[in-house]
A and B are shown apart, each in its own frame.
Chain A
């Protein structure tokens, strides 16, 4: 009995071993590339605070669960540019329209191989163009939004139909401008019909005087959206230079606000992602950007931040009334009434930011 029993065990053990070997052979690893779920590696993204939340890269996380994604935070476009300039090793970074040319001029950004992006054909051509510089696709467009005048309808029942409302003495003490030189120049060029890409020294001098005069009407220059939302909610601020994120937030809280369609047109901005020149993770970075364009991620941008997304399917899928209103989805003419922020040159950037500093320092 004994020997037979031990033989039985041996046979069982052999079969088990055989089964293990067979099962291992049954699933051989693909010869070319590991499946997405097994892909490992790590990526570093230089982004704005809040965008590091998983909601905003959920498709990548779900598709490539074994890839580690690290985030560094930049406070503004100038800050992100400064960090990249100083040799930051992030693989991917997130600048906004106006600041794109510098990265190309300074050799900080790698061209995007769009043939490897599966979601690329969902991006409308007018958005693709925004990421092209000198005829090459250096950036992929991602989030976008409007800038316009946001106002309290209970305080300004007559409504706002022009950017010049920000300079109307009627509203003294209840206006809030964004704390940004190029933003101020943009508003003035709309009001006076200047060419935003060719502002002369004389025009800039009069723009400076205009904003120095505006300062007496302005309650505070807002630096972050929450500050503006709080000011408008409390009723201290009646009208402001604002992004539609603030509009959607206030609508959601039941504050009576309207987002103007100024006769000069709204302004529009686009956030883009670029890949650092010289990164060792170029292919992985491309995969990250591809997944950034995917639908679940895009829906989160729309629903959580109230910003637009460059994936057309995401935008046409919006059903929420508040959001439809915020994006003017039902106004087929809205994009024709919008001016995209052009890229600044280094000289414009220096002159316009210095102009703004002098406005703030003026007696």
Chain B
């Protein structure tokens, strides 16, 4: 049974041109003897589509962007050879406000990721250990917001936070305030609040996966040894779910550094993030080289931050 399955998988894949036509018998024999090897070859073929996809739509554009950051301007043919210049990097190095904004964006991303993870953890815990048979239903409910567009969800926050919005109307109705609060919308806090909301369901998923992987009999063993519930959580659940926690953290942190849609909609004049500056150079300035240089700076900075973080964080050791 297993053998015929492996044949069924391997035969339709003509790996090399020489395999294709003249010697069906010889091919069949080869399969019979080296099934294991062939299966590995098959998996290599399965890697091909994602690799091609990544290459075409990620690596090549990324390399082009890196190359463009060394181009003086976009005059003349886009693919003609140009003499590399560091002009954009030197002008960036001299513009302190961009670096400051990158720092602010990283801090905001850190805050958003931390709070989103802290808020997502109980949700994941509930789904993993308390929801029981309804866990699937709750998970679907959690993901319902994703059925609507991201833009709509951010626009909804404008309705919540605006001067005639839900929060202001309620506070005025109950008499807590006379004049609407203008500080709710169009600033960095509004951006942070909205982003946390957007990320909580995302952050829940890796934590949930990690919690579900914990062997239930570990808890029985802990209880047998006299561990109280909080001790069980601190010594077993939390340490074993940390991989999911860090996964969730970085899944939120990395895209948030470069975020631009949310600040555009709810950030107001003072709420711009680094991603808005990059976007402006591409869509409002036709200055792709400078935009590319800004992007490369962000990419390298993010990679460095993540690298440093993975080096520093050894919380697992601290907890044990």
Residues of chain A having any CB pair with chain B under 8 Å: 75-76, 78-79, 81-82, 85-87, 102, 105-106, 173, 177, 179-181, 215-216, 218-221, 223, 234-236, 346, 349-350, 353-354, 356-358, 360-363
Contact = CB atoms under 8 A, between A and B. Distances in A.
A219 B283 contact: no
B163 interface: yes
B280 A86 contact: no
A349 B267 CA distance: 25
A357 B281 contact: yes
B276 interface: yes
B298 to A, nearest CB: 13
Contacts of A215: 269-270
A85 B100 contact: no
Nearest to A230: B158
B186 A361 contact: no
A187 to B, nearest CB: 15
Contacts, number: 96
B97 A106 contact: no
A59 B289 CA distance: 42
A327 B78 CA distance: 42
12 contacts: A78-B282, A179-B284, A220-B267, A346-B75, A353-B287, A354-B285, A360-B269, A360-B276, A360-B277, A360-B280, A361-B95, A361-B277
Contact of B286 (A75, A218, A234, A349): A349
Interface string B234-278: 000000000000000000000000000000100111101010110
Contacts of B285: 78, 181, 349-350, 353-354, 357
B97 A354 contact: no
B272 A180 contact: no
Contacts of B282: 78, 82
Given A346-B73, A354-B287, A361-B101, 20 more contacts: A76-B283, A76-B284, A81-B286, A82-B288, A177-B269, A180-B284, A215-B270, A221-B269, A234-B162, A236-B163, A236-B182, A353-B280, A353-B285, A356-B280, A357-B98, A357-B285, A358-B95, A360-B269, A361-B97, A361-B272
A176 to B, nearest CB: 9
Contact of B73 (A76, A78, A223, A350): A350
Contact of B78 (A78, A86, A363): A86
B31 interface: no
Residue among B74, B97, B286 with the highest chain A CB neighbour number at 10 A: B286
B143 to A, nearest CB: 29
B97 A363 contact: yes
A290 B101 CA distance: 49
Contact of B277 (A75, A82, A177, A357): A357
A79 B264 CA distance: 18
Nearest to A82: B286
Residue among A82, A235, A360, A363 with the highest chain B CB neighbour number at 10 A: A360
B277 to A, nearest CB: 5
B163 A234 contact: yes
Contacts of A181: 284-285
Given A219-B269, A361-B97, A363-B97, A85 B281 contact: no
Contacts of B182: 173, 236
B290 interface: yes
Contacts of B288: 82
Contacts of A75: 283
A167 to B, nearest CB: 13
Contacts of A216: 269-270
A353 B74 CA distance: 15
B281 A234 contact: no
Contacts of A362: 97
Contacts of B274: 361
Nearest to B285: A353
Contact of B98 (A79, A179, A361): A361
A346 B163 CA distance: 41
A181 B162 CA distance: 27
B75 A78 contact: no
Interface in B142-200: 162-164, 182, 186
A220 B186 contact: yes
Contacts of B76: 106
A179 to B, nearest CB: 7
A234 B268 CA distance: 16
A50 B27 CA distance: 60
A204 to B, nearest CB: 14
Contacts of A220: 186, 267-269
Nearest to A75: B283
Nearest to B280: A357
